[in-house]
Structure 1
Amino acid sequence: MSIEKKEFEYEKNKLEDTEKWIDGQISTIEKDNEEFENKIGVLKKQSKGKYSEELEITEKLYNITHKSLQRYNEAKIVPYFSRIDFREKRSTEIESYYIGKFGLGDSKNGEEKIIDWRAPIADLYYSGTAGKVSYRVSSGYVDGELYLKRKFIVEDKKLKDAFDEGINEIILRSDDNEENNLVDEFLKINLEKNVSSKLKDVVATIQKEQNDIIRSEKNSALVVQGSAGSGKTTIALHRLAYLLYKYNKSLSGKDVLVVAPNKLFLDYISDVLPSLGANTVKQETFEDIARKVLGVKSRVYTKDKKLAYIFEDKKDEEKKLVVKASEFKGSLLFKSMIDEYLKNIEEKDCDVDDIKISGYVLFEKAEIKRLFVEDMKHLPIDNRKEEIKKYFNLKLKDKVKSILDKVSFRYEYNIARLKRNMIDGAERRKQLIKIYDERDSEKNYIVKNVKNVMDEYFENWKHTDTGVILDRFFNDQSIYDEIVNDKVTKKLWSYMKKDFNKNREKKTIDSDDLAAMLYIKFNIEGNDKFNFKHIIIDEAQDYSVFQFAALKNLCSSSSFTIVGDLGQGIYYYKGINDWNTLKNNVFKDNFNYTALSQSYRSTVEIIKFANKVLKKQNINLEPAKPVLRHGDSPKVIEFMANKEFAEKVDSIVEKLDKLGKRNIAIIGKTYDECKKINDTLRKYSKNQWKLIRENDKSFEVSKIIIPSYITKGLEFDCSILYNCNEENYKDTELDKKILYVALTRALHYEYIFFKGKKSKLIK
């Protein structure tokens, strides 16, 4: 049954009261903040640059109140988005809880006015249904009964709409005009909003299947296979915000790494974490984090540039070698070769000498070898050497004393013999003084130089940098004969060797070499500077199994959130084609998998059209299931000339402008194609278009021209695909995947242009 108007009025008044309360809290906090600020100024003058415990405490209090002030100011806009009514099992009282993006409490009495969406009881909003329910807390479960789940739409600090789950009706619009009442779902209202230039938080519309993923435990590798538009990126970021909230005593933003496909995507997601209170999370591309870990400044030949080359270059034979090389460098075969190579390095490092000084043995090679091969085998190679050196330094004082005793004993023997064989007199005294001087000189030499001997020994035992080690792998014939041999064709090996050396001369690193370089570095030198407790990897299907093996070394606890879509694996030749590959070869038993097939991005018609292309791929994936949001079917439009294309695009823009849809992307297959589109539209279009380049770090969504492979993860009100003809989109696995990516970017409208014969993929 419908909720009466008085319910809407109650919620309207409740929101107004809450906003007044927030204003009061802000006023109180601002006064506290001002007092702390003034006190800090006074204490700084008094301390005169010296340490002051009172100053340190006051600064901490100021930082706390400052963050609190930011939270309350943001909450002013939309204090909460839902209400649940819940009665605990042993209680007779039904309590109402209002849930918002941030938990807010009264600064005077500590009463919690608004519940944080990540709090245990908030789970009932996302996963509970009316009737008997329970939610999990640290000590177990709280049982009870859920009586109400109410959702609010707040705009401009006013309650616009509200409805109760199960009724699916808007309560009453605030204009009191019943003819304008909407009968629609809360989710559908949010999905029909226009795109912005940045990904936004979705705390109000998280669905049950998404909530289950967000609240999963952290100490495993969680893999989420999500179809296009399933919200997997958003889920991953909200999961991170949840983990930071739940494990706030052991996990902070600085302990987390987000790995994204490109800098444009990083900019697109950059607002989500700060808006959820996670400001200090490190967000990088794989190439950039690899360069930082390796400590190199060389340019990187990125995967996107390589893909563009594969798309555009006409030399089929060389293109095949590029693809084969990329496939090999991401493979388990290459990793096994590097493992064998590292084993060879380890064995050669066992061929050590005694550490000696003045002919005396400080430490025997047998002991060094035992420590290196057995006792410290769990450590990276160079770390073992450092630990052996530390261990020996602890024993050095006793070792030196023992050697000095031996020196003394040898000279005492010589002195005794001299005394026996010579009569006391001036000559004997002269000889004795000489022996004493030689003894003291030798002992002094040992004492003064023993540290240098140790340092020199261990310095000579260290390795050169990672790049040089990989250089030897490709260029040392003995390594090829021993490790590679017939496992790789001579033609492919010759190409990889030539390409590696060419890049070295240009001071460039192929992105496909980074996994091996990281892996070698971790095994030789270890990883002290970059050690994360949780890593999120987006578009994970585009990473090779070797890249995952390398990234695993950056995480101290094997705690990962891995999201991707095999259907969008445009780097299929080196990426993941089956998530079990990660389970079997990287994470083993510490692995959990879940799939999301519900798509929230596009209309039913757009998703059905894209699914036709997905079904043609050589993978066994369940097609995306659309939310019941209908719209226009995608339009397939033929054009004959550039001018005609521009005119038809202008007509589409005009139509969309009237509908309030202004975020439009023309998607070209390649960057070269996008440049041609840009030239055409500059010449014939009435509208201004921005060409997105491969290395752009940001963009404002309006009217853009963008290469297909950069669009992954992005979304637009309308997408216009350029020239989907037989020549441009062939019946190949790569073209099927890139077309599927392009066809799943639009929220509301989609147009597919072609010139000549239409591609078989869209027939």
Structure 2
Amino acid sequence: MPANRLAPDIQEDADPGDVLAAERQHLAVSRAALRTMREHARSLSANAAGDWVSQQILQALLDERVEALADHPDAPLFFGRLDRSAGDDLPGTIYVGRRHIHDDRSRPLVIDWRAPVSRAFYQASPAQPMDITRRRRFGYHGGTLTAFEDERLDSADGDAPAASRILTEEIERPRTGPMRDIVATIQPDQDDIVRADLGLTVCVQGAPGTGKTAVGLHRAAYLLFTHREKLARSGVMIVGPNRAFLSYISSVLPALGEIKVEQTTIAGLVGEHAAPEDPAVAALKGDPRMARVLARALWLHVTKPTEGVLYTRGASRFRVADHEVREIVASLRGTTRYGPGRAALAQRLAHAVLVRMEQRGESPDDRVQDAVARSKPVKQVLDAVWPKVTPEQVLFRLLSDAEFLERAAKSDLEPAERELLTWAKPPRSHKSAKWTAADAALLDELADLIERTPSIGHVVVDEAQDLSPMQLRALGRRCRTGSATVLGDLAQGTTPWSTRSWQAVLTHLGRDSGEVTELTLGFRVPREVLDFAARLLPEVAPELAVPRSLRPGAGSLSVRRAAADALPAAVETAVREALAREGSIGVIVPDAAVAALSAALGAAGLEHGVLGPDSTGDHRLLVVPATLAKGLEYDHVIVMEPADIVAAEPRGLARLYVVLTRAVTTLTVVHAHELPAALADR
């Protein structure tokens, strides 16, 4: 074996059993090396740091290192192998896996999938071999290596199979519990997105089953690996549509060795407000024009000074004339954020007083200026001219005072829109107001106008098509000096303000120069199911390309009609059929029918869970409200009464499109009412 080849020395014509045994031995050696690496990390002490604070910081970093080196028995340490022809200093054979593993002489046993040399595993082809002679994929059952498959890349008549059986089986493997990583199955177009530069904001339009969510999470993992030091300071954040979705994706990044990534929802980011509201009012509050209205509303609190400052020190009196105060206020107004502007006004007024002191021969220092800035005469001018306000106070005044709203809106809002926004029965004060989800984005906008929102290094936002322009502005502020990965599907937009254009989304994020790319080739949803759901596209998103699936999925779709009184029994039958197969089961129903169906399944002795906004959904059989299905996947999906799902909301057909595309293996549609016209000829 060449000196740079740390791999089993296997002859080209070796018996497959011998090859498998040698590769299993390499897996065992790698696992032992990972245990040694973890034990070494655990043995390190933070006591070497000088002071207590440094010790605590170092200990936290060591704890993270130990956790990142954990071996998950059911997750293979490596899933591929590359045999290279290049005569450089790199190993001739490279094993590609979830994390780097080296032996006691620091020689690599497994290379992290994010390393530059690993890119060939995803991108090499007979046309562009990238110095790779052979690519080997490994099949696993649990953590046991059970199979391998070779693809020759150094000759046109190589022995590569027409399609990778191992790759197909991994994609189709039944899924129970949280979402898995797709690191072993990343395709070339997905890899291009994952490895995009940190400074580039990428917007991914992804049809159902194209892996857009997984691609976004893997891009986060890749950026953390490639720009570790920078992102350790600035941070990475994942923003999902609800907590059930976050629970579903929660294990992906830890499985890739990334444990310190904040995951939240848009409500968790801007405020957990959920008072009921008319959709028309919510849509108006989400309109980007509201940004200008809010800015005027805030700055209308700054008034024209009518008095100067009179500061007394002992027997001396120092006066700043009212016209000078007006000039100072005018120079600051609108040139800074509201909060710093108020602080700057206090200091500028104090400086003007100190100038008067110096003119009289005194020599005041910075301590005197600070004392003057905090003095009662200056505070009186501040409170009268530039009062301290909170976002809640400003928004309360805007929504409860029609005259103030008219002044703030100017020509941005029509009279009918202002009337729609104004509370008919205002609360007694901002403290008793019950804010809505749309209000939360307005409050966040005001908070940023008052004090600058800290920026994060990278933000990954999923289901972005459902966010209002004002919510997108809130996200844009969080990556003002960073970048974003924006994921979604225009066809799955279900909110009253759902976007029709990704370029508009990028504009609201403040990322006009971002790139939009489209994933149309699906790997998860069977073709028969995807083609059925895609009949709705001409009505919900006619501008999008029709998605395609690599998996034929013959027999994966079943549409059954039942009498209205027999509908629960028909669903029960479909559930029992699904339980006889391997994998997770999601029974997706209209929200109003969740309780009744759950009771019926319970009476039939079928143990199950009910997915809620904050539940983990860790049962094999779940009853899923249609409004929570977005972003989730189940091996077997049973959809009850599509007509009621459509009728429940204005964009009901888009909701149904979402629901019908959650299946990875089979979809069973059970209905009593007529199906939507586009689906009726099935």
The offset of 1:281, in angstroms, is: 1.6
2:676: which partner in 1? Answer: 759
Whether 1:517 and 2:443 are equivalent positions in the alignment is yes
Structure 1's 166 and 543: CA in aligned 2 closer, same or farther, altered over 3 A?
farther
2:84: which partner in 1? Answer: 86
1:466 to 377, 386, 391: 391
8 Å CA contact retained: 1:666, 1:719: yes
Measure the CA separation in 2 of the matches of 1:28 and 1:673: 52
Q: Unaligned 5+ residue runs, structure 2? A: 1-11, 154-158
1:379: which partner in 2? Answer: 336
Q: Give the alignment's TM-score, normalised by structure 1.
A: 0.77
1:414-433 map, 5 Å = none
1:20-59 map, 5 Å = 20-24=29-33, 26-27=35-36, 30=39, 33-34=42-43, 36=44, 52-53=50-51
Measure the CA separation in 2 of the matches of 1:728 and 1:25: 50
Whether 1:613 and 2:568 are equivalent positions in the alignment is no
1:310: which partner in 2? Answer: none
Secondary structure at the residue paired with 1:468?
A: helix
Measure the CA separation in 1 of the matches of 2:152 and 2:489: 32
Structure 1's 704 and 54: CA in aligned 2 closer, same or farther, altered over 3 A?
closer
The offset of 1:203, in angstroms, is: 0.9
The offset of 1:351, in angstroms, is: 3.9
Q: Cα RMSD over matched residues?
A: 3.8
1:675: which partner in 2? Answer: 595
The C-alpha deviation readout for 1:502-533, integer Å capped at 9, x for no partner, is 69686421101122111111112333xx4312
The C-alpha deviation readout for 1:355-407, integer Å capped at 9, x for no partner, is 33138556566666666555785531221222444566678766544456599
Whether 1:242 and 2:216 are equivalent positions in the alignment is no
Measure the CA separation in 2 of the matches of 1:8 and 1:198: 34
Identical pairs, percent: 19
The offset of 1:550, in angstroms, is: 2.4
The offset of 1:586, in angstroms, is: 4.2
Q: Residue 742 of structure 1 aligns to which amino acid in structure 2?
A: V
The C-alpha deviation readout for 1:698-743, integer Å capped at 9, x for no partner, is 1114112111110100011111111234x65359961210110110
2:489: which partner in 1? Answer: 565
Secondary structure at the residue paired with 1:752?
A: strand
1:742-757 map, 5 Å = 742-757=659-674
Q: Residue 250 of structure 1 aligns to which amino acid in structure 2?
A: K
Measure the CA separation in 1 of the matches of 2:370 and 2:294: 43
1:177: which partner in 2? Answer: none
1:357 to 286, 311, 316: 311
Structure 1's 731 and 651: CA in aligned 2 closer, same or farther, altered over 3 A?
closer
8 Å CA contact retained: 1:613, 1:762: yes
Q: Residue 301 of structure 1 aligns to which amino acid in structure 2?
A: A
Measure the CA separation in 2 of the matches of 1:72 and 1:451: 55
Structure 1's 732 and 362: CA in aligned 2 closer, same or farther, altered over 3 A?
same
2:402: which partner in 1? Answer: 477
Q: Residue 355 of structure 1 aligns to which amino acid in structure 2?
A: V
Q: Which has the higher helix share?
A: 1
Structure 1's 364 and 593: CA in aligned 2 closer, same or farther, altered over 3 A?
farther
The C-alpha deviation readout for 1:104-123, integer Å capped at 9, x for no partner, is 123x4322221111111111
2:25: which partner in 1? Answer: 16
Structure 1's 522 and 744: CA in aligned 2 closer, same or farther, altered over 3 A?
same
1:262 to 231, 242, 250: 242
Secondary structure at the residue paired with 2:167?
A: helix
1:124-523 map, 5 Å = 124-130=120-126, 132=128, 145-165=131-151, 185-252=165-232, 255-291=235-271, 300-301=273-274, 322-345=278-301, 348-349=302-303, 351=305, 353-358=307-312, 360-361=317-318, 373-374=330-331, 377-390=334-347, 400-403=357-360, 405=362, 451-453=374-376, 454-455=378-379, 457-458=381-382, 461-484=386-409, 493-498=418-423, 501=426, 507-523=433-449
The C-alpha deviation readout for 1:165-188, integer Å capped at 9, x for no partner, is 469xxx99xxxxxxxx99853321
8 Å CA contact retained: 1:253, 1:281: no
The offset of 1:259, in angstroms, is: 1.3
Measure the CA separation in 2 of the matches of 1:755 and 1:91: 67
8 Å CA contact retained: 2:503, 2:512: no
Secondary structure at the residue paired with 1:616?
A: helix
Whether 1:96 and 2:93 are equivalent positions in the alignment is yes
2:568: which partner in 1? Answer: 646
Structure 1's 526 and 6: CA in aligned 2 closer, same or farther, altered over 3 A?
same
Structure 1's 65 and 760: CA in aligned 2 closer, same or farther, altered over 3 A?
closer
Structure 1's 371 and 606: CA in aligned 2 closer, same or farther, altered over 3 A?
farther
Measure the CA separation in 1 of the matches of 2:163 and 2:460: 39
Measure the CA separation in 2 of the matches of 1:597 and 1:676: 37
Q: Give the alignment's TM-score, normalised by structure 2.
A: 0.86
Measure the CA separation in 1 of the matches of 2:239 and 2:90: 47
1:626: which partner in 2? Answer: 549
1:723: which partner in 2? Answer: 641
The C-alpha deviation readout for 1:125-172, integer Å capped at 9, x for no partner, is 111224656xxxxxxxxxx622122111233543211112469xxx99
8 Å CA contact retained: 2:570, 2:670: no
Structure 1's 373 and 583: CA in aligned 2 closer, same or farther, altered over 3 A?
farther
Structure 1's 71 and 31: CA in aligned 2 closer, same or farther, altered over 3 A?
closer
Secondary structure at the residue paired with 2:69?
A: helix
Q: Which moved more, 1:58-67 or 1:552-561?
A: 58-67
8 Å CA contact retained: 1:26, 1:69: no
1:657: which partner in 2? Answer: 579
Measure the CA separation in 2 of the matches of 1:668 and 1:157: 36
Secondary structure at the residue paired with 1:753?
A: strand
The C-alpha deviation readout for 1:604-643, integer Å capped at 9, x for no partner, is 111111111123325311122101342314222111144x
The C-alpha deviation readout for 1:455-511, integer Å capped at 9, x for no partner, is 554455333211110122122233343344786565554443236836968642110
Measure the CA separation in 2 of the matches of 1:264 and 1:277: 22
Q: Residue 655 of structure 1 aligns to which amino acid in structure 2?
A: E
Measure the CA separation in 2 of the matches of 1:353 and 1:637: 79
8 Å CA contact retained: 1:597, 1:624: yes
Larger Cα-atom Rg: 1
Secondary structure at the residue paired with 2:536?
A: helix
Measure the CA separation in 1 of the matches of 2:162 and 2:199: 44
Aligned pairs, number? 658
8 Å CA contact retained: 2:310, 2:319: yes
Structure 1's 458 and 264: CA in aligned 2 closer, same or farther, altered over 3 A?
same
8 Å CA contact retained: 1:382, 1:462: no
Measure the CA separation in 2 of the matches of 1:226 and 1:710: 19
Secondary structure at the residue paired with 2:145?
A: strand
Secondary structure at the residue paired with 1:498?
A: coil
Q: Residue 691 of structure 1 aligns to which amino acid in structure 2?
A: V
Q: Residue 676 of structure 1 aligns to which amino acid in structure 2?
A: A
The offset of 1:578, in angstroms, is: 1.1
Q: Which moved more, 1:503-512 or 1:242-251?
A: 503-512
The offset of 1:248, in angstroms, is: 0.8
Measure the CA separation in 2 of the matches of 1:390 and 1:609: 67
8 Å CA contact retained: 2:347, 2:370: no
1:576: which partner in 2? Answer: 499
Q: Which moved more, 1:381-390 or 1:587-596?
A: 381-390
